[in-house]
Structure 1
Amino acid sequence: MQQLLSPLMLKGLERRLSELRPDVIVSAHPLLNYVTVAALRRLARPVPFLVVVTDLISAHHSWFTEGATAYVVPTEETRQLYLARGLDPERVHLLGMPIHPRFTLPVASREELRAQLGLEPERPVVLLVGGGEGSGGLRTAVEAISQARLPVQLLVVTGRNRHLYAQLQKEQKKWQVPAKIMGFVTNMPELMHAADVIVTKAGPGTICEALACNLPIILSGYVPGQEEGNVTFVERNGVGVLARKPQQLVKALQELLEPGSTLLQQRIENAKRLSRPQAAFDIARLILSYLPPPGQPGPWEERQAVAQVATAKVKGK
């Protein structure tokens, strides 16, 4: 697909790069890598090109486009995929997934956060997230938890799905568990730090944000092919399970929150081990290391200077 689209994009990208004259290029999307490498070759500019991979295990083949200066990977599993393709290990940097610093910076205590959110201080909190656009599966999950009368309280985030939000608000009075229903939120770090467990789709960003908050994970679904590796990552490393059916979700919560069980603490410890909360800062430092030193010509000025010298020599003959 990228080779079919590249001819359509190449000239436009060349023109844009010539206008912007970047000192470093960073890609966080696999389908842009091939055309970027091709454009830089055609322009004959030594601009450092860094690829930041956002797949946890089963990386899209376009991530492996040859010709990038360096590759930043989130997990050891992804690093091994690159090494298996013969890439120089020094060009493959295991730094983690970049997430917003708010997930890693100190926040209020769990008790304070729960008080701010109007939650009971001791009752376990289950955070159910349907993504930015919301998911109809949230309704089924909430109904299953309610019918099982689990001793929990719920934080339900419907995102931009206003219909789902209104529907849940209407049905809430029938539920057997206390719940707070929210639409699109900007305080997800606080919600995660207030919770005991998160129920979410298998998006890599949310998974890594949960790990940074030391939050056990229950995956409610995944995009076939694209996110299957994320499920493997969560289960293999002991930070959560896949529970696609309502009864599986109820069972997973019962096992995790059972009084006297050590499972919850085990998953918290595993999340701490896996988390790379400083990944965004480490990646930023790597990017900055490729900038030209102060006073030194950049990748665009260097060629211009060479051309000027060559022109001067021709005129001097």
Structure 2
Amino acid sequence: MKDKLEVFISSAQSEFEKERTTLAQRITKMPFLVCNPLEKRGAESVSTIEASLQGVRDCDIYIGIFGSRYSETTKAEFREAMKHHKICLNYVKRVKSREEQLQEFLEAELKPQFKYHEFSKFKELHEQIEEDLNRHLLRLLRLGLDNFKREKRRAIETGRTEQQQIRTAILRKEEDRPLAMVMEARSAYSSEDYLTAAIKAAAAVELALRFALLRRGISGRELRLPLGHLLQFALRTEVLSNQDLIDAKKLRYVRNAALHDGRTPLKEEALVAIKLAENLIQKLRE
């Protein structure tokens, strides 16, 4: 996972060579952003045009700068950014004359689709780009916060549902229910719902553990212990081995990260949780 958003600068290199370098340096100094112009990346094993289009595909934010000179590569980069729905920030320099092909491109493709900022001096361009990038970063942070709140609410609701299923399964003595819950976790994983997959996997182990304790004749207050205390009790009563406890704690950590921190598990974390659950449930049923 990238720890910074990649910014791609698209322009006629011959016209804005010095400005591209300066702008990239300023952007890279901004929080959460990195900008590495194509001409600074060293040798590529593909053609220049393919390397530039790949750069657009890999970026998070596209910046298009247009002056007086036409560039077929710059036009292709703009179209690639459009094709892949990138955040697009466009800037057009005020000039006395512009090459006809570029003017036609601006009139036919840029102006009908985007608002853009006009500039005369590069100081003005740099300041406007920084302002626009900060505005988009703030918007992304707000979207991220909204998504965090939604995911946390969903995690809490899923957790409550699973706890109710645990209570119901115990009352009905549905000892095969943990296996069914793991199958549901795998189904959620296949649907790329890693949050539900991890919570269901943890709940399946918790239910299997409570059934294992019941088979040992343990009931009452001990059986109602929260999961953390229940794991320690299971270790003391030798229902779980030390390694089993370590594995169960890994599951609990992923579940708690979702329930309390609102963090959706990664794909790999969800798969590990399911495999740990399957292994633990098999041991607890022996």
TM range (shorter): 0.3 to 0.5
| TM-score of the two chains, using structure 2 as the length reference | 0.34
| TM-score of the two chains, using structure 1 as the length reference | 0.31
Higher helix share: 2
Larger radius of gyration: 2
Greater RCO structure (CA 8 Å; 6+ sep): 1
